[in-house]
Amino acid sequence: MNGILPLWKEKGMTSHDCVFKLRKILRTKKVGHTGTLDPEVEGVLPICIGRATKVASFVTDAGKEYIAKVSIGKSTETEDAQGDTVTSDQSYKEFTRAQIVNVLHKLTGEITQIPPMYSAVKVNGKRLYEYARKGIDVERPARKVMIYEIELLDDNQVFTGEEVTFSIRVRCGKGTYIRTLAVQIGEILGFPAHMESLVRTSSGNFHQSHCKTLAEVAQLMDKGEIDSILRPIDDVLTGFPKVEIQPDLLENIQNGQVLPADPLLMKHPSIVITHNGQVMAIYQNHPTKSGLMKPEKMLLPNE
């Protein structure tokens, strides 16, 4: 069994829970997820099976889309609704639609974020949440992330109340924390804030409409119809230029040998090598030998 299974992760489960259950359902050990979703977050979680586990990192690195509800008036330890309150401002608030849209515009493009303490980012070999659970505050490295688009989904022209909430749709790159984005929105508006809820609606080329729940996957497996939802490895590699290998080089590719660099690598960091239209490997420029290319990933059909 090889391919990518677009799973709809339900609330209350960790990404690891999903992998553990799918190993039992699919009766195979070679199963891996493509990026952690917090237990209280539901949404698209592509699962790589068999040979597809080799391209999991490409799915993880692809862009994501989320629907988030932002709450202005209270900040929390975890930056979401599950954490204890840190700061609360129950004053009456009033924001126009134009004000909020302007804030979202300021946070579009490349921005700087500081990962939340309750996150899986590693500092000095330990994950931040390990420090947080012991009450240890450590310096967190700021990092650049890309926000491609933020859209205000509510139609209100004026948002008022002691605690103001509104929904946004976010298209972003790898490593973006939507919890932190919610806090940043509040900071620009001048109030504490947190993320009230979150749904991931797409991950790379995989969208909500493609997904099945664990229960639906189990039903398809029982009926012998699991192949109907498995997506081919090619679906992850649509952004890579493809090169059909010459027959005399097939054995070299199968052995993962270093080869003369393809001209496409002058413009692209990686290329996909195919044989009779089937993906064989991903090659990149050799880091130390000019004019040569080496395998980045081997994806031979019989592996």
Rounded mean pLDDT, 96-109:
98
Q: Which band of pLDDT confidence, cut at 50, 70 and 90, is reported for residue 303?
A: low
- Active-site positions read 38
Question: Start-end ranges of CATH 3.30.2350.10 in the chain?
Answer: 3-61+204-235, 64-203
Q: Give the pLDDT confidence score for residue 166 in this predicted structure.
A: 98
Rounded Cα distance between 96 and 50, Å, is: 51
CB 198 within 8 A of CB 176: no
Q: Looking at domain 3-61+204-235, does it have CATH number 3.30.2350.10?
A: yes
Task: Give the CA distances from residue 242 to residues 170, 248, 269, 272, 298, in Å, rounded to whole numbers and listed in that order.
Answer: 30, 18, 12, 5, 14
Instruction: Give the other-Cβ count within 10 Å of 180's Cβ.
Output: 18
Tell if the pTM clears 0.75, that is, is over it: yes
pLDDT in tens, 138-162: 888 899 999 999 999 999 999 999 9
Mean pLDDT, all residues of the chain = 92
User: Where on the phi/psi map is residue 34: left (φ > 0), alpha (ψ -120 to 50), or beta?
Assistant: alpha
pLDDT in tens, 218-232: 999 999 999 999 999
Q: What percent of the chain has pLDDT over 90?
A: 72
pLDDT surpasses 70 at 201: yes
Instruction: Give the other-Cβ count within 10 Å of 100's Cβ.
Output: 22
Fold for 64-203, please state it. Answer: Pseudouridine synthase (3.30.2350)
Contacts of 99 (CB under 8 A, 6+ apart): 189
pLDDT surpasses 70 at 302: no
CB 42 within 8 A of CB 199: yes
Q: Give the pLDDT confidence score for residue 238 in this predicted structure.
A: 84
CB 14 within 8 A of CB 226: no
Question: Start-end ranges of CATH 2.30.130.10 in the chain?
Answer: 240-298
User: Where on the phi/psi map is residue 165: left (φ > 0), alpha (ψ -120 to 50), or beta?
Assistant: beta
Fold for 240-298, please state it. Answer: 2.30.130
Which one is predicted more confidently, 121 or 303?
121
